[in-house]
Structure 1
Amino acid sequence: MNSTPSLHRTDLAQLIVNRIVQEKDRIKIQYEVSKNQIGYFFIDDLLPPEITEYVNSQFPSKDAMVLKKSIRENKYIGVQMNQYARILEELIYAFQDERVVNIIKDICNIDDLQPDVNLYAGGLSSMKHAQFLNPHLDNSHDKERNRWRVLNLLFYVTPNWLDSNGGHLELWPEGLKQDQTTLYSRFNRLIVMATHDKSWHSVNPVVADASRNCVSNYYFSSTSLSNSDKFHVTTFRGRPHQKLRNQILKLDSFLRMNLRKLFKKGVIENPHVYKTDKE
């Protein structure tokens, strides 16, 4: 890696900004055209490929991550960044650099946009063969229920990931009874999508004997993107052909939502939060 720029978060943030500037006009139009349903944009070749390949090579083993496996989802996550290779934390917090936040704020025309130092539901994710994420709405708020979750940033880092491999982000802009839009999780691609009460999205099953790795962040705001949005827990549904699973997940969401009405911050503390040594 001696031939690459510094891998400190400030330098990585500048590389991200430089690349976004090159594509700013295109991705601003892409977001504007889509924002009345589920706003999104994507940009390829975000970082020099040797840096992204290095990031992928430093992903923790599955044994060092947490397996989340249920009828809702099946994936590995990592959020305790101080337990992993330094580059992973540097990259995650590069996306929280003020320069990156400000340019995305301008692209998406969101006046109040704030990153999340706690990485609430952010961090690392890895999905191997047969793993998936069912259609769902993200939790509407941050850890303290003070801010609205408004943007999801997904940076895919697995080299040579084929479109035929699966493990791709799916948006359901017309709801779960209509066709989805597939955004391929290609190497070195950043996808930014809006999160609100209509942002149904999923990840289709990985069909390759390989792991699709992703670095993710959420941005928050004091106001929601949708006038109709209200507080909601992460809400899962079945795919169109999963009739029984859909009914089970409806009940699951109903019960969890009612628990949150009684216990504002949940019955147990959400473990998907980065706790640093200072906490």
Structure 2
Amino acid sequence: MPSPLIAMDRLTAALPEAAAAYRAAEPFPHTVLDDVLTPEAFAAAVAEFPGTEDPFWRGYLHVNETKYSNTAPDTWGPTLTAVARELCAPEFVRYLEELTGIEDLLPDWSMDGGGLHQTLRGGHLNIHADFTTHHDHENWARRVNILLYLNEEWLPEWGGELELWDQQMTAKRGSVRPKGNRMLVFTTSADSFHGHPDPLTCPPGEARRSMALYYFTEEEAAVRRSTNYRPRPQDGATRGAAIWADRTALDVYDRAKRRLGLKDETVQGVLARVQKLRRRG
């Protein structure tokens, strides 16, 4: 039975060409899919997207990123929850396997690293390669990331294009505008560098909104690497040093969290207070 939410018939019909383009893409395998949701589903998802002041947002507020996430689908509206379920369902997972050439993908309803994301005016996400394993299943290797953009309108002058950088971090090789109902699919690896490092210039009250999901494969010995934030050549020595120091601190925190059972909420509260002090300064 066709999904009432995702345009699977159209996506599947274009799969042979899309798969070939995906695997040949530079600087790493990826593709951009437009109009992924049906018009009705997209309109409903946009209407349900939590407001900027919703209490369930959790802030990631530090040198390398200033964004908010909600990884609890039970707090989402019914369309957003149903869309996420469709993206975790066998039909869509099989589609991703054929698109990417990666077999035995595992969807992740726990939203480890995923969920709903929003970035406000002035926010950013430095160039990085993603954390390589699941935080609760250390033998699960992250293999594929999807980003579904959920803004009804996003003007080019607001910034926020996702930059795609080469393995050596010497040059930007592409960019993706976060147009509504657009999905970026890409293979996650130790050097799939991406981000939107320049502050957003959208109007106050607007936000760069998306739904993110990761897909994994089970490995006997998955290699754990923390999120690898990297400076661009134009960022300069001072910013580069800050990016490196923040990356190191986050890796130490992640290791401590695993060993000591710390909760993200505690640390995010500290980070939020530090961010407020920075703004006052």
TM-score range (shorter-chain normalised) is 0.7 to 0.9
Inter-CA distance 51–258: structure 2 relative to 1 (3 Å threshold): closer
Inter-CA distance 214–266: structure 2 relative to 1 (3 Å threshold): farther
Among 141, 146, 149, the alignment partner of 1:148 is 141
Q: Structure 1, unaligned stretches of length 5 or more?
A: 1-9, 272-279
Among 33, 46, 49, the alignment partner of 1:43 is 33
DSSP-derived class of the 1:63 partner? coil
Tell me, yes or no, if the aligned pair for 1:69 and 1:75 is still in contact at 8 Å: yes
For residue 239 of structure 1, report the CA deviation from its aligned partner: 3.2
Counterparts of 1:211 and 1:256, CA distance in 2: 25
Q: Which moved more, 1:205-214 or 1:135-144?
A: 205-214
TM-score (norm 2): 0.82
Counterparts of 1:152 and 1:13, CA distance in 2: 23
DSSP-derived class of the 1:15 partner? coil
Whether 1:27 and 2:18 are equivalent positions in the alignment is yes
Counterpart in the other structure of 1:245: 239
Identical counterparts, % of pairs: 22
Counterparts of 1:77 and 1:128, CA distance in 2: 12
For residue 13 of structure 1, report the CA deviation from its aligned partner: 7.1
Whether 1:192 and 2:188 are equivalent positions in the alignment is no
DSSP-derived class of the 1:95 partner? helix
Counterparts of 2:154 and 2:72, CA distance in 1: 26
Counterparts of 2:17 and 2:97, CA distance in 1: 15
Counterpart in the other structure of 1:222: 218
Counterpart in the other structure of 2:201: 207
Counterpart in the other structure of 1:60: 50
Tell me, yes or no, if the aligned pair for 2:4 and 2:38 is still in contact at 8 Å: no
Counterpart in the other structure of 2:269: none
DSSP-derived class of the 2:99 partner? helix
Q: Which amino acid aligns with 1:48?
A: T
Counterpart in the other structure of 2:271: none
For residue 182 of structure 1, report the CA deviation from its aligned partner: 0.5
Q: Which moved more, 1:179-188 or 1:14-23?
A: 14-23
Tell me, yes or no, if the aligned pair for 2:151 and 2:209 is still in contact at 8 Å: yes
Counterpart in the other structure of 1:164: 157
Counterparts of 1:260 and 1:159, CA distance in 2: 35
What is the root-mean-square deviation of aligned Cα atoms in Å?
2.5
Counterpart in the other structure of 2:71: 79
For residue 165 of structure 1, report the CA deviation from its aligned partner: 2.4
CA deviations over 1:211-247 (Å, ceiling 9, x no partner): 22101100001249xxxx8311112223333322221
Q: Structure 2, unaligned stretches of length 5 or more?
A: 266-281
For residue 14 of structure 1, report the CA deviation from its aligned partner: 6.7
TM-score (norm 1): 0.83
For residue 256 of structure 1, report the CA deviation from its aligned partner: 4.2
Whether 1:137 and 2:129 are equivalent positions in the alignment is yes
DSSP-derived class of the 1:232 partner? coil
Number of aligned pairs? Answer: 257
Tell me, yes or no, if the aligned pair for 1:129 and 1:206 is still in contact at 8 Å: yes
Counterparts of 1:259 and 1:71, CA distance in 2: 15
Tell me, yes or no, if the aligned pair for 1:24 and 1:107 is still in contact at 8 Å: yes
For residue 175 of structure 1, report the CA deviation from its aligned partner: 3.0
Inter-CA distance 47–158: structure 2 relative to 1 (3 Å threshold): same
Whether 1:175 and 2:175 are equivalent positions in the alignment is no
Counterpart in the other structure of 1:110: 102
Inter-CA distance 19–135: structure 2 relative to 1 (3 Å threshold): same
